[in-house]
Amino acid sequence: MTADQALARVLDALEDAGIAYMIVGSWASGVHGEPRATQDTDVVVQASEGPFRGFLQMLGPDFYTPAKAWDALASGRATNVIHIETAVKVDLIPVRDRAYSRLEFSRRVSARMLGKLRPFASPEDALLSKLEWAQRGGGERHVEDAIGVASVQGEALDWAYVRQWGEVLGIGELVRRVEDAVRG
């Protein structure tokens, strides 16, 4: 199995188990901006215990999952699944219990990935997420990813939404930095 096949298997299993999800992080910023290599795939999920356990059963023994994966998700913490042969790692992140995160999840958009339309964070939310990571000490590459999204999306980006939520999230200064970088 290739790395792409392993990732597709995880995403297909989420869908087959009826778990709502969206792809975020570098995959989302790459779809809406400038792609770059990434070590893992970040996926926000909205799951209940039964479907999640069904999802894990669908993956089977080819994947490693921490013993208390459901407990982590249920308590608002991330967990992961790792394809043993390829070392493909998918981080599963529960939808955060805050107004912005619920709105972000409701704004998912479809984009083609691994032969199918898959749900991704919107361009605006991919940009905001990258800036939140930068604010938390994630490094300059997250700001560069946000600039890539803004550059590719141009005026199609809902800047009023980005500015509004940037202020609410405490990253308004970073939003202004991105906007200045693309408007020169």
- In this predicted model, what pLDDT tens digit does every residue of 131-167 receive, in sequence order? 999 988 878 899 999 999 999 999 999 999 999 999 9
**CA distance from start to end of the chain:** 45
Beta-bridged to residue 64, according to DSSP, are 82
Beta-bridged to residue 92, according to DSSP, are 43, 79
- Decide if pLDDT at 32 tops 90: yes
Residue 92: what pLDDT?
96
Q: Enter the CATH code of domain 1-121.
A: 3.30.460
Instruction: For 163-182, write each residue's pLDDT tens digit.
Output: 999 999 999 999 999 999 99
Q: Pairing mode, if any, of strands 41-46 and 89-94? A: parallel
User: Which of 77, 94, 116 lies closest to 19, judged by CA?
Assistant: 94
Residue 36: what pLDDT?
79
Side-by-side strand order, sheet with 116-120:
63-64, 79-83, 89-94, 41-46, 20-24, 116-120, 109-113
Close Cβ partners of 168 (under 8 Å, ≥ 6 residues apart):
100
Residue 37: what pLDDT?
74
184 pLDDT tier (thresholds 50, 70, 90): confident
Query: Please, what is the Cα angle at 154 between 93 and 136, to 5 degrees?
Result: 35
Instruction: For 45-96, write each residue's pLDDT tens digit.
Output: 999 999 999 999 999 999 999 989 999 999 999 999 999 999 999 999 999 9
Mean pLDDT computed over every residue of the chain: 93
Q: Give the percent of the chain with pLDDT over 90.
A: 82
Residue 138: what pLDDT?
74
- Determine contact, residues 81/65, Cβ cutoff 8 Å: yes
Residue 17: what pLDDT?
96
